[in-house]
Structure 1
Amino acid sequence: MMDALERVTGPANATPGAASSAIAPVLAGPPQPVRVLAAFPAAVYLEHATGLLAVVAADGVQHPNAVVLSVGVAARPLAGLHVGQEGTVGDGAIGVGQLQVTVARWFDPSPHLRATSPPLIAGKIADARAHLMARTGSDSHDLAVPADAVAEALRSGDMDGVLTAVRDLVGAGPGLTPAGDDVLAGLFAAVVTLSPAVAPEATTTLTRTLALTGGAVVDRARHVTTAVSAELLHHAVRGEVADLAAAVLHAFTGRRPLTPALDALLAVGATSGRDLAHGLITGAALVLATAEAGDPDRPATTVGAR
């Protein structure tokens, strides 16, 4: 794959961008049609044969399926694009109307977290919950109960239980990325990325259950929620997240300051950042509880404890 990533070039006069390696097969592959699904000043979402990719301004959110342009919103790089407009992607380039983008470099949307200990991550979870309480007035909301139900089903290895529990989350709420999807994406991404950093052996059942059910969850999402949200869930079950969520995950392991990372995430959208943060905390608590249950010298933590 790296050879393919290094070979892409694209038009010499195009705007350069940094592309997620998660969408390398589409970007580096042969040209194929794309269609504008949604267009905003900071981001444009393009449908292709197998999914969805985003083109975002430099000061937009670096999604796990994004090509991040070298210029910001003020330069109006996405002006003039509209829903239904058609173009092409492939051979290291994207062309839609006047927008011409070439891949200049790649980024990895999967945060590789350093090993950490249950006591350290327990403190970070407590701090994160306290900060959310201070910022939002509550460390819980209407989706906390179904999120905890998904977590408990994952912890027990109950695949049917996972699929039943996600029905109360997938597509719940309005917007481009409904609140239930944001919570679920955060939960899944935290499980995938934190499990090997905290206790890979103790969390084997947890990660296996998620691997076996993730495809079914994403398939359901493609039928009941927005295309943008379903695509982000597809990446979340693989541990691929936006840069702001990755920063919070790194903070849980002590690699970055927690408060600035949470504040940056909470600033995203009307509620998306908050809901994604809830999901990350719930997933982190699930990993912690599973790790502690595998240690006979430590008392088990309840996943939904707040």
Structure 2
Amino acid sequence: MRTIDHDASGGTEHDRATRSGAPLIPLPRRSDQATLRSASPARATSAVPASASTGVADLLRGPVRPARVLMSVPAAVYLQVPTERGTDIVGVLTSDAARLPLGCILFRPSNGRPLVTLPSGAPAQVGGGRIVVGDLVVRAAAWWDPRPRLPSLRPALLPEGVRQLRNTLYGEGVPHSAFTLPGLPAGPGGPLAALRGAVRRADLDAALRTATRLIGLGPGLTPAGDDVMAGTMAGLVLLGHPAADRFSAAVFSLAAGRTTELSRALLRHAAAGRVSGEYAAVLQGLVGERPLGPAIEGLLATGSTSGRAMALGLCTAIDLVDRTTRVR
């Protein structure tokens, strides 16, 4: 990323970005120029550097826009930003938070302290290379790509890796039908059972119909039902299923008015193949590009249910790709 060669601070931010594990990708110099033009000298010197997702590059590098706080917790603050196409979400996340595709990752952990102490609805600003929320000023000093680079448009997955993912998720020797998620109805009439049935029949349209039952289902800012569908959508896109775009567009259209704004934003990113760093690590492990075991553990440890739900979505996508595109 363009972070160091054109930055006045020399190698310091490069070292921080390297230690954070963020891949560095070059972006045009105008990002720096816009930042300098729009920031006052006092704020420019006190800004906190962060590694920003290219999924929110247009917002960060664009004109300064008013925003408001959606939610603030010790490891993250989420901002709603009005745009020409509706509302986008940008997150400022500490290094120990999930690496979401809409996030700017700080080079420090939360240590149990909130990033800001502002209530929901408090004003903020996004644009000109910066995020300003309360006394916190964050500058995009490095960039990372939330769409993992895989070996090909339709990558082959390691069979042993797929078995390892399934066994870790479901439990070795445990039937998939026994898998449950908190907040989602279990049993043969539940939505997860319907999704498994659609996969067994290699019926992509039936799998899509389960989205009407899953979107918005479950507690929290990202309901478990949404996370299952986000994992499925992103998996289909990244594994090259020919109907991935149609499937993802249909699921995303269902989300309007049925789920939270944060979850809907993450579904939009999933439809473009932009995923969390933890999800991307599992995919890279499945194609043999990194150790798989630690990647699976990292994903499953994400949130109270999100990581397990996303992993279930990935397994669903793997099965749908295998069963609906296999040469018969």
Q: Deviations over 1:190-248 (max 9, x none)?
A: 111122xxxxxxx42x23xxx13433422321311111111111100110001001001
CA distance in 2, matches of 1:182, 1:111: 18
What's the counterpart of residue 316 of structure 2?
Answer: 282
Q: Which of the residues 87, 94, 99 maps onto 1:57?
A: 94
What's the counterpart of residue 96 of structure 1?
Answer: 133
CA distance in 2, matches of 1:5, 1:20: 14
Farther-moved stretch of structure 1 (213-222 vs 52-61): 213-222
The question of 1:106 aligning with 2:151 is answered no
Q: Secondary structure at the match of 1:12?
A: helix
What's the counterpart of residue 243 of structure 1?
Answer: 277
The question of 1:145 aligning with 2:193 is answered yes
CA distance in 1, matches of 2:112, 2:210: 44
Farther-moved stretch of structure 1 (2-11 vs 21-30): 2-11
How far does residue 165 in structure 1 lie from its aligned partner after superposition?
2.6
CA contact (8 A) 1:187 1:283 kept: yes
What's the counterpart of residue 293 of structure 2?
Answer: 259
CA contact (8 A) 2:218 2:225 kept: yes
* Residue identity in the other structure for 1:260: P
CA contact (8 A) 1:8 1:103 kept: no
Q: Secondary structure at the match of 1:46?
A: strand
CA contact (8 A) 2:116 2:134 kept: no
> Quick one: structure 1 residues 8 and 121, their matched pair in 2 at CA, closer, same or farther if it must change by over 3 Å?
farther
CA distance in 1, matches of 2:110, 2:219: 25
What's the counterpart of residue 299 of structure 1?
Answer: none
Q: Which of the residues 43, 46, 50 maps onto 2:76?
A: 43
CA contact (8 A) 2:226 2:263 kept: yes
Q: Which of the residues 182, 185, 199 maps onto 2:230?
A: 185
CA contact (8 A) 2:204 2:324 kept: no
CA distance in 2, matches of 1:152, 1:221: 25
What's the counterpart of residue 5 of structure 2?
Answer: none
Q: Deviations over 1:4-29 (max 9, x none)?
A: 54645352310011111111111110
CA contact (8 A) 2:269 2:275 kept: yes
Structure 1 length normalisation: TM-score?
Answer: 0.82
CA distance in 2, matches of 1:22, 1:283: 22
Q: Which of the residues 245, 264, 268 maps onto 1:230?
A: 264
The unaligned stretches of length 5 or more in structure 2 are 1-25, 181-185
What's the counterpart of residue 210 of structure 2?
Answer: 165
CA contact (8 A) 2:72 2:114 kept: no
1:62-141 equivalence runs, <5 A: 62-74=99-111, 76=113, 78-115=115-152, 118=156, 120-134=157-171, 139=176, 140-141=179-180
Structure 2 length normalisation: TM-score?
Answer: 0.77
Q: Secondary structure at the match of 1:168?
A: helix
How far does residue 123 in structure 1 lie from its aligned partner after superposition?
2.8
CA distance in 2, matches of 1:7, 1:285: 47
CA distance in 2, matches of 1:213, 1:83: 33
CA distance in 2, matches of 1:178, 1:138: 24
CA distance in 1, matches of 2:27, 2:266: 24
> Quick one: structure 1 residues 146 and 5, their matched pair in 2 at CA, closer, same or farther if it must change by over 3 Å?
farther
How far does residue 76 in structure 1 lie from its aligned partner after superposition?
3.6
> Quick one: structure 1 residues 163 and 289, their matched pair in 2 at CA, closer, same or farther if it must change by over 3 Å?
closer
CA distance in 2, matches of 1:83, 1:272: 23
| Identity of matched residues, % | 37
> Quick one: structure 1 residues 136 and 2, their matched pair in 2 at CA, closer, same or farther if it must change by over 3 Å?
farther
> Quick one: structure 1 residues 219 and 8, their matched pair in 2 at CA, closer, same or farther if it must change by over 3 Å?
farther
Count of residues in correspondence between the two structures: 279
What's the counterpart of residue 22 of structure 1?
Answer: 55
Aligned Cα root-mean-square deviation (Å): 2.6
CA contact (8 A) 1:162 1:213 kept: no
Q: Secondary structure at the match of 1:223?
A: coil
> Quick one: structure 1 residues 127 and 52, their matched pair in 2 at CA, closer, same or farther if it must change by over 3 Å?
same
> Quick one: structure 1 residues 78 and 123, their matched pair in 2 at CA, closer, same or farther if it must change by over 3 Å?
same
The unaligned stretches of length 5 or more in structure 1 are 196-202, 297-306
